[in-house]
Structure 1
Amino acid sequence: MYSSIELENVEPRELEEEAPTLLSVGRELKPEKMRPNVWHYERGEENAYHRQGEQEELYVVLEGTVDVTIERDDERDVITLSKHDVLVVPPESWRQLRAVEESRVLAVGAPNVPDDGMLEE
Structure 2
Amino acid sequence: MYRLVDIGGVEPRDLEDVDPSLLPIGLELQPDRMRPSIWHYERGAKNTFHRQAEQEELYVVLEGTLDVTVEREDERDVVRMTNHDVLVVPPESWRQLKAVEESRVLAVGAPNVADDAIVEDDTTTE
TM-based fold match above 0.5: yes
Q: Which runs of 4+ in 1 moved over 4 A?
A: none
SS for the counterpart of 2:33 is coil
Matched AA of 1:85: D
Matched length: 121
| Partner in structure 1 of residue 26 of structure 2 | 26
**What residue ranges of structure 1 are gaps of 5+ in the alignment?**
none
Counterpart position of 1:65 = 65
**2:92 aligns to what?**
92
Aligned-residue offset at 1:119: 0.6
| Alpha-carbon distance in 2 for matches of 1:119, 1:16 | 15
What is the DSSP-based 3-state SS (H/G/I as helix, E as strand, rest coil) of the residue aligned with 1:71? strand
Distance 1:74 1:25 in 2: 35
Residue 74 of structure 1 and its aligned partner are, at CA, apart by 1.2
1: distance between equivalents of 2:111 and 2:94?
A: 18
TM-score, normalization by structure 1: 0.99
- Please state whether the residue corresponding to 1:13 is helix, strand or coil: coil
**Shift in Å, 1:118:** 0.7
Pairing 1:1-121 to 2, within 5 Å after superposition: 1-121=1-121
- Secondary structure (helix, strand or coil) at the match of 2:5 reads coil
Q: C-alpha root-mean-square deviation of aligned residues, in Å?
A: 0.5
Identity %: 68
The Cα of 1:61 is off from its aligned counterpart by: 0.1
TM-score (norm 2): 0.95
